[in-house]
Structure 1
Amino acid sequence: MGTSGRGSLKFPMPNYQVALFENEPAGTLILQLHAHYTIEGEEERVSYYMEGLFDERSRGYFRIDSATGAVSTDSVLDRETKETHVLRVKAVDYSTPPRSATTYITVLVKDTNDHSPVFEQSEYRERVRENLEVGYEVLTIRASDRDSPINANLRYRVLGGAWDVFQLNESSGVVSTRAVLDREEAAEYQLLVEANDQGRNPGPLSATATVYIEVEDENDNYPQFSEQNYVVQVPEDVGLNTAVLRVQATDRDQGQNAAIHYSILSGNVAGQFYLHSLSGILDVINPLDFEDVQKYSLSIKAQDGGRPPLINSSGVVSVQVLDVNDNEPIFVSSPFQATVLENVPLGYPVVHIQAVDADSGENARLHYRLVDTASTFLGGGSAGPKNPAPTPDFPFQIHNSSGWITVCAELDREEVEHYSFGVEAVDHGSPPMSSSTSVSITVLDVNDNLEHHHHHH
């Protein structure tokens, strides 16, 4: 027992627990304390004091009215800074010696949804190969939220972009393929993603980020020729190393997978052609001869630079050689010799002059004419001028296109027994080419005098 049997000062409970939402305004009353005496009637004026127990900072958030024992907030509480505050409160009176009592207050700060989710990155960039299987995991997006778990239960979703090609697991944040990617259809994608914390007090908060996905090329496209059959016409006298055509193939892939090399597979029978591997330009490198080969059919291939390469070997180049007038007429036999009776009728065919020309078409169509007829008369002498046109009384003519030489004036062996002249064959090329040959015609005797004798009898 104490001296003179005094009572003691006491709080109703040895400790108090108070829960309070964060962000309430300063001055919010949280607890009304009152210390009392164990013996009635011993009332004295009591003063209240308070201190932070484990953390000095706690004292700064609260105050106690030293006269009334009312405990209130002194500043706005923030659960994310400190979630629990423990305070010791002392009541002291003014008796002698002073009596005192102690109690403890535990303040639990309750969470409100006052933090938005924050993504680890505002932009995610990822590269992924085309043609991967559906469900391939491309990347994982993550956000964090400083609120307590009930206000930080994050859910992810795609807000915009290629949600038909990619899917997003709402709880794990894994982005995976929903379809097979084809770089030739789309080379990059963009997704706008959201993290939502599903908070209730005061309401949900969210954040967004952008995901960029680049599709890497695989060599999955064959080169395609611009034409199924390239046709070119080349004159046979084309100069060597002349470019006559360019083949072209395209490949929908990218980079080396689309770098094309060309080559001739077959049909280049005597090595007349050279195909430049990179440019696709076709050169004539050996002489062409229409009279030998009129048409070449080259099969060509285009090969890309992938590993392994893809090859299109279905290309065709048709080279049509055009005839050039590079052959002169050739007479089938030369020289021509013939005999004719002096009494044959006009128009009588004496000899058939024939020439051939290895060219084709107009370049091989011939016409004939007589030349050098003047010097054939007896006494004319070979010193006479060369006359390309027949003299008026020359007894033979040649049919321009058939080459038949016929009699066109009466023959008389007593006057001229022997005719020697030239024939020229000219083709219809541009410019024309020609050849000449010589013709000898001997006029044979019919016994004129005998006929005269018959007359006289």
Structure 2
Amino acid sequence: MRHICTWLTILDLSLLWPCVISMNFLISFSQQTKHVNHIRVKREWSWEPLYVSEEQEVNKALYVGQIKSDSDKQDGSIKYILSGDGAGTIFTMNENSGKISVLKKLDREEKSFYTLRAQAINRFTGVSVEAESEFVIKILDINDNEPQFINGPYVAEVPEMSPKGTYVMQVTAIDLDDPAYGSNARLVYSILQGQPQFSIEIKSGIIRVASQIDRETKDQYHVIIQAKDMIGNVGALSATATVTINVSDINDNAPKFQQKTYNMSIIESASVGEIVGVILADDNDIGRNAEIIYSIEERGDYSMFNISTDLITQEGIITLNKVVDFERRSRRYNIQVRAQNKFQMELFDTAIIRIYVVDVDEPPVFIKKEYFMEILENATIGSFIGSVTAKDPDITNSTVRYGILQKKHSRSFEIYSNNGSIITARPLDRESDPWHNITVTATEAKNAAHVSYVPVHIRIIDVNDNAPQLQIEYDSYVCEKSRAGQHVETISAVDKDEPTLSLPFSFILPPEDTSNANFTVIDNGDNTATVLAVRDGYSYQETPLFYLPIIISDNGTPALSSTNTLTIKVCDCGTDNNKESCRQGGFFFKFLNSGAFIAISVFTFLILVLALLLHMKFQKNHVALTEKGEDLKENIVKYDDEGGGEEDTEAFDMIGLRHHTVMREHKTKRTIRTDIQSMYRLSLGLGPDVAIFREYLSEKLEEANTDPSILPLDSLHSYAFEGTGSTSGSLSSIESSGSNIGPYF
């Protein structure tokens, strides 16, 4: 063992650890031999350092090194066996000499070392001469890999005007070669493009600002960085990367006007708020740093104009603050405007603006914006109401002509075209139109296109020209059992005139009616009056209606009055003497409260009795015809034209449809009773004569019972009675004459 360790001291220190492993295997092998032969035999391995350079072209087996046992006598009795990584495919061993060769090209970056095992046995007995030993073949590195930048692409940002040495960013490159072997993987960085603005640290790859940079000059730089291995020596490999460095803006520029003096103009007819012109100051900064605020400094005519900032275009918009007048005021205005940075007030610029007023031919101008006038409603046609005035504002002072726009109310007025005086053209009525709104025009005589307009409001003043009237059409009643002094109705009046002219109202009876024996009127002094009964008791039968004339006067100058008639109806009012029942029931209620109710009841009862008797008689005749076996003839007549009157009945005999013995006798025309009251009398509440109705119905019932020509069918007879006063008499079919066939039901 002492000899083996002495040999290994000559080898590279990097191979010491395989030696230790080999010693462990030799110790193990010695122990195994001891157990087998029971005799301790001291044997040793010996080999050369084993290295293979990568990327070597191998056309035939290339010698690497040799391992052998110190017990090998070179007599061919020992056989060497190789196993482990790549044994037989990458590496091969001569079994007689122990020489190791490589069979193909190797790549250290793929595999940097191979671990193999060697064994020495007796060729004849197969017994191990040496214990199996493990060893390593190391692949030597060559500079065959270029550096590679990682974490790209590289983009950085740095503020403009940054001081020298300001950190920008760091770039990193790697080399796949062996960093522990020579300088193949030792990198250095340099700038190929981007100086003198930027620099880079050779070993770390940190990029820094090398000189002052201005965004307004250049806002982006493309810096090319190179990474080279072998510390940049000859034969070194390199790679490059581009770093995009954006220069961010700082607020370091003041706004600048494009010119120091601006000339603008505005017409004198421009209204307040109208745009005069636009100015623009440039700021070389960007974004928020370029935002500008415009203002007018308190110099010159600063109060005549305003300036505002357009937040989108960053323009200063000048507008008119006060009306300008070419004829009366200055014809040129001077203002000084200021453009300053929104966030850095000390960054600003100023400019002078001259604004010239341009004369225009303006339309006439009315002295007032609107006119208010008044006139009495009873004013005669041609009465003066008022006048309007307009003037030409121009220096020429042209003549003005007046007119009225033709509208609904304008036809009631006229205007003098030369002086603007307004007069009435039609009668006026305050009750129809209390106000009239017209539009007056003013036109230049020399230029009809220049027209101005002004509204004129004309109020019609009321005069007392309407007499008061009853407020409503009263539905007044007086009970038949009323007592003298009892309340009948409370009335009020209305007047179309204004209350100040008409109130208060007064209520009186006409002079010829002051001694009215039925009713009287009491003026309440509050524009109402009370109608009272004068006597006890009223008769609906004698006088159902009373007409009470009432004079209503107003308090105007002169006072006007009107006679109004109050209709008062007499009502039964029932047992409780309540007039409300009269209003609720109306005519029908009064009618039922008279004797007509009894008459209608009796008439209805007689009609029912008559219908019952007729029904019984029809049933009896039907049975008699059936017993005699007489058949009724039936004819079917078909019509296919519009009809020809009586000619259409020639197809059959109408008499055959009746019983042969039943022929109605001719009746003489009944004399009309003139003492029967008409329905008109009933409508007046006078009531019918019950006895006369009873006699009339009895006669009709007797005729029906004795009529031998009645049909054997149920029938309902209907009678109509016109009553007294009708020259036509009864319309009943029983009274019909001129036919022997009889009535049809």
* TM-score where L is the length of structure 1: 0.61
Assess if the C-alpha contact under 8 Å between 1:93 and 1:100 holds in 2: yes
What are the Cα deviations for residues 292-339 of structure 1, in whole angstroms up to 9, with x where unaligned? 43432211111334x34554242221223456799xxxxxxxxxxxxx
C-alpha separation in 1, matches of 2:184 and 2:356 = 82
The residue number in structure 2 matching 1:91 is 120
For 1:227-266, list aligned pairs within 5 A.
227-266=259-298
C-alpha separation in 2, matches of 1:261 and 1:270 = 17
Go from structure 1 to structure 2 and tell me whether the alpha carbon gap of 1:156 and 1:247 turns closer, same or farther (over 3 Å shift).
same
What are the Cα deviations for residues 229-287 of structure 1, in whole angstroms up to 9, with x where unaligned? 11224454544443222111111111121122322122364732122322422222312
C-alpha separation in 2, matches of 1:144 and 1:10 = 48
Q: 2:220 aligns with which of 161, 174, 188?
A: 188
Shift of 1:82: 3.8
Secondary structure, counterpart of 1:256 in structure 2: helix
Assess if the C-alpha contact under 8 Å between 1:16 and 1:105 holds in 2: no
Cα RMSD for the two superposed structures: 3.7
Go from structure 1 to structure 2 and tell me whether the alpha carbon gap of 1:10 and 1:43 turns closer, same or farther (over 3 Å shift).
farther
C-alpha separation in 2, matches of 1:311 and 1:200 = 51
The residue number in structure 2 matching 1:123 is 153
Q: 2:192 aligns with which of 159, 176, 179?
A: 159
Shift of 1:99: 4.9
The residue number in structure 2 matching 1:135 is 165
Q: Which has the higher contact order (CA 8 A, sep 6+)?
A: 1
Q: 2:334 aligns with which of 267, 278, 297?
A: 297
The residue number in structure 1 matching 2:240 is 208
Deviates more, 1:231-240 or 1:249-258: 231-240
Instruction: Report whether the alignment pairs 1:101 with 2:156.
Output: no
The residue number in structure 2 matching 1:286 is 322
Assess if the C-alpha contact under 8 Å between 1:113 and 1:199 holds in 2: no
Instruction: Report whether the alignment pairs 1:148 with 2:181.
Output: no
C-alpha separation in 2, matches of 1:233 and 1:96 = 125
Go from structure 1 to structure 2 and tell me whether the alpha carbon gap of 1:259 and 1:270 turns closer, same or farther (over 3 Å shift).
closer
Larger radius of gyration: 2
Secondary structure, counterpart of 1:80 in structure 2: coil
Secondary structure, counterpart of 2:109 in structure 1: coil
Instruction: Report whether the alignment pairs 1:197 with 2:233.
Output: no
Instruction: Report whether the alignment pairs 1:72 with 2:72.
Output: no
C-alpha separation in 2, matches of 1:186 and 1:120 = 28
Identity of aligned residues (%): 27
C-alpha separation in 2, matches of 1:254 and 1:200 = 43
Secondary structure, counterpart of 1:319 in structure 2: strand
What are the Cα deviations for residues 4-58 of structure 1, in whole angstroms up to 9, with x where unaligned? 9x998966x53432233112234321114454647x6x93443211233xxx568
Secondary structure, counterpart of 2:48 in structure 1: strand
Go from structure 1 to structure 2 and tell me whether the alpha carbon gap of 1:202 and 1:158 turns closer, same or farther (over 3 Å shift).
closer
Greater helix share, 1 or 2?
2
C-alpha separation in 1, matches of 2:302 and 2:82 = 111
Shift of 1:113: 0.9
The count of aligned residue pairs is: 321
Secondary structure, counterpart of 2:142 in structure 1: coil
The residue number in structure 1 matching 2:355 is 319
C-alpha separation in 2, matches of 1:200 and 1:254 = 43
Paired AA for residue 72 in structure 1? S
Assess if the C-alpha contact under 8 Å between 1:112 and 1:201 holds in 2: no
Assess if the C-alpha contact under 8 Å between 1:58 and 1:86 holds in 2: no
The residue number in structure 1 matching 2:200 is 168
* TM-score where L is the length of structure 2: 0.39
Assess if the C-alpha contact under 8 Å between 1:267 and 1:296 holds in 2: no
Q: 2:92 aligns with which of 50, 63, 73?
A: 63
Go from structure 1 to structure 2 and tell me whether the alpha carbon gap of 1:192 and 1:110 turns closer, same or farther (over 3 Å shift).
same
C-alpha separation in 2, matches of 1:251 and 1:270 = 25
Shift of 1:201: 11
Go from structure 1 to structure 2 and tell me whether the alpha carbon gap of 1:8 and 1:248 turns closer, same or farther (over 3 Å shift).
same
C-alpha separation in 1, matches of 2:216 and 2:359 = 47
Assess if the C-alpha contact under 8 Å between 2:187 and 2:232 holds in 1: no
What are the Cα deviations for residues 187-233 of structure 1, in whole angstroms up to 9, with x where unaligned? 11111211111379993221121101111111111111111011224
Assess if the C-alpha contact under 8 Å between 1:266 and 1:300 holds in 2: no
Assess if the C-alpha contact under 8 Å between 2:185 and 2:230 holds in 1: yes
Assess if the C-alpha contact under 8 Å between 1:9 and 1:99 holds in 2: no
The residue number in structure 1 matching 2:470 is none
Q: Which runs of 5+ in 2 are unaligned?
A: 1-32, 363-392, 397-745
What are the Cα deviations for residues 53-88 of structure 1, in whole angstroms up to 9, with x where unaligned? xxx568864221324422011343332344344433
C-alpha separation in 1, matches of 2:173 and 2:285 = 37
